[in-house]
């Protein structure tokens, strides 16, 4: 069955598995892809999450992300592909997430996937911002110039890039609640002093949210499972090293242009913005009820008449989503390669094959679905021109959806790409195996992606 037909079936027969908020039930595929940026924006706005809603590159809102129409089209296509995989793979075993083990109730997949996938590339405009990247790289390079790369790696100069980035984006929150100078949560006494310092109700709300999160149990489970989901995958120091690696330009042994990693940037932005958004929703609710409890309330929602539920119980889930977005673009390096030498010099040995901890469906289902669907999504993968280098081509997108066959057979993702793209897909499959825990098989023009069992 073509990918286009799979989306048609998903839209018509299984709306609850992708349309959590119930606002796109009467939409046709051509309507959705005619303006994918609007699809994403309306979804977040309806969900009372304005700070996550992207704007076009021509609009200006410092807190909201900017996203091109082409990148939005890729995100929406990935959104449907991931929902299809989750629905069909292993009889839809990954249907919800709970904060309690062996629970039968939790946050539905459609809710989790909406937040994750529709935001996962919202840091991409920053990856194209060479001016900011050069400013951040300058801080790292100026420190590294005094010693060898190995000596400097031991002194943690990689933190300079992340520190400057967080300052430039006014980011105070992270999923690790670090004890560094950029955290609101360095100590209980400092936290109390900050609460006393801020008269602003919204600021105090943010500090109270952070205080709860810092002490909250951050363990999540797939529905019916007693095994915790594996997150956070990496320590903040490992994320910072990779962020610095992406910033720096290496002439030898590997030619590389520095940039801001859009996954790491997007993950940081997601967590910061959704905490701010929570506080703003609380402020809105206070206008209707002065006794609103910040830990559990209904926001009347200024965008529409449908109230939305906010709860502190959601905070670990937001952290997990942030972690998945951060890690969806962190690549491994094969041993005995030129790139591996740079990884070793930067003390990123855990990202070297075979030490690289590949993404496993059973240990980290959300990141697995994001990694696979993002990698094989037809518009980004098969477009004749890289989607960010040309205007959005909706005719080409629909053609690729109709020329690509995707099915789930015996818990294997079976893909038959367009004939002219077989070689390109062969390369993508081999690349996928380096960082996602799958086996792959080829038979002429057909490919199988087979999830590996948990260790």
Please report the sign of the dihedral spanned by the C-alpha atoms of residue 162, residue 171, residue 234, residue 375.
Answer: negative
Sheet holding 96-98, edge to edge: 107-108, 96-98, 221-222
Token pair in block for residue 116: 């994750």
Q: 232 preceded by cis ω (within 30°)?
A: yes
- Return the pLDDT at 346: 82
Please identify which residue in the block is written with the tokens 């690696």: 245
Strand 221-222 to 446-451 pairing: unpaired
Q: Report residues of the chain scoring pLDDT below 70.
A: 57-60, 142-158, 177-199, 251-256
- Residue 157: the pLDDT is 60
What is the model's pLDDT at position 140?
Answer: 73
Residue 304 token pair: 């529409």
Q: What pLDDT does 186 receive?
A: 35
Q: For residue 149, what pLDDT is reported?
A: 57
Measured distance between the N- and C-terminal CA atoms of the chain, rounded to whole angstroms: 33
pLDDT, position 444: 87
Q: How many CB atoms lie within 10 A of CB 188?
A: 11
Whole-number pLDDT of residue 184 = 32
- What digits encode the pLDDT tens for the residues 25-50? 889 999 999 999 999 999 999 999 99
Q: 200-225: buried (b, 16+ CB within 10 Å) or exposed (e) per residue?
A: eeeebbbbbbbbebbeeebebbbbeb
pLDDT tens digit sequence for 149-199: 556 556 566 677 888 899 888 888 788 864 333 333 333 444 444 444 445
Compute CA distances 350 → 126, 130, 343, 353, whole Å.
Answer: 26, 28, 9, 8
Please give the helix or strand (H or E) that residue 247 lies within, else none.
helix 236-247
Domain boundaries, the chain: 3-451
Question: Beta strand 296-299 with 308-311: parallel, antiparallel or unpaired?
Answer: antiparallel
Say how many C-beta atoms besides its own lie within 10 A of residue 156's C-beta: 14
Distance CA 379, CA 382 (A): 6
* 438 contacts 429 by C-beta, under 8 angstroms: no
Query: 229 φ, ψ to 5°?
Result: -70, 140
């Amino acid at each position: 069955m073509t990918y286009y037909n799979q989306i048609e079936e998903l839209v018509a027969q299984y709306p609850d598995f992708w349309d959590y908020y119930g606002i796109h039930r009467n939409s046709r595929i051509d309507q959705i892809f005619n303006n994918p940026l609007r699809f994403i924006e309306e979804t977040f706005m309806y969900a009372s999450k304005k700070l996550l809603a992207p704007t076009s590159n021509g609009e200006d809102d410092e807190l909201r992300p900017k996203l091109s129409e082409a990148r939005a089209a890729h995100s929406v296509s990935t959104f449907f592909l991931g929902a299809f995989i989750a629905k069909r793979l292993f009889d839809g075993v990954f249907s919800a997430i709970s904060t309690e083990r062996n629970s039968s109730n939790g946050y539905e997949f459609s809710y989790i996937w909406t937040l994750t996938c529709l935001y996962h590339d919202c840091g991409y405009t920053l990856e194209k911002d060479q001016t900011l990247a050069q400013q951040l790289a300058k801080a790292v390079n100026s420190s590294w110039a005094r010693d060898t790369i190995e000596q400097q790696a031991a002194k943690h100069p990689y933190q300079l890039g992340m520190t400057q980035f967080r300052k430039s984006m006014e980011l105070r929150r992270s999923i690790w609640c670090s004890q560094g100078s950029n955290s609101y949560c360095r100590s209980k006494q400092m936290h109390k002093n900050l609460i006393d310092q801020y008269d602003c109700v919204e600021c105090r709300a943010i500090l109270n949210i952070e205080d709860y999160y810092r002490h909250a149990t951050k363990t999540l489970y797939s529905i019916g499972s007693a095994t915790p989901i594996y997150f956070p995958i990496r320590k903040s120091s490992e994320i910072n090293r990779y962020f610095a690696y992406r910033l720096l330009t290496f002439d030898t042994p590997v030619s590389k242009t520095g940039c801001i990693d859009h996954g790491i940037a997007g993950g940081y932005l997601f967590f910061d913005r959704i905490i701010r958004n929570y506080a703003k929703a609380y402020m809105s609710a206070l206008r209707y009820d002065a006794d609103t409890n910040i830990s559990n309330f209904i926001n009347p929602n200024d965008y529409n008449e449908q109230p939305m539920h906010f709860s502190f119980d959601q905070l670990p889930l937001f952290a997990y989503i942030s972690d998945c977005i951060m890690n969806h673009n962190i690549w491994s390096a094969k041993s005995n390669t030129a790139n591996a030498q740079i990884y070793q010099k930067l003390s990123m040995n855990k990202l070297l094959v075979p030490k690289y901890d590949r993404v496993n469906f059973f240990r980290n289902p959300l990141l697995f679905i994001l990694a696979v669907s993002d990698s094989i999504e037809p518009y980004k993968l098969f477009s004749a021109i890289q989607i960010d280098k040309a205007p959005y081509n909706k005719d080409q997108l629909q053609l690729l959806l109709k020329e690509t066959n995707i099915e789930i057979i015996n818990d294997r993702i079976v893909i038959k790409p367009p004939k002219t793209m077989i070689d390109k897909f062969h390369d993508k499959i081999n690349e996928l195996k380096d960082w996602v825990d799958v086996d792959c098989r080829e038979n002429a023009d057909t490919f199988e992606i087979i999830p590996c069992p948990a260790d």
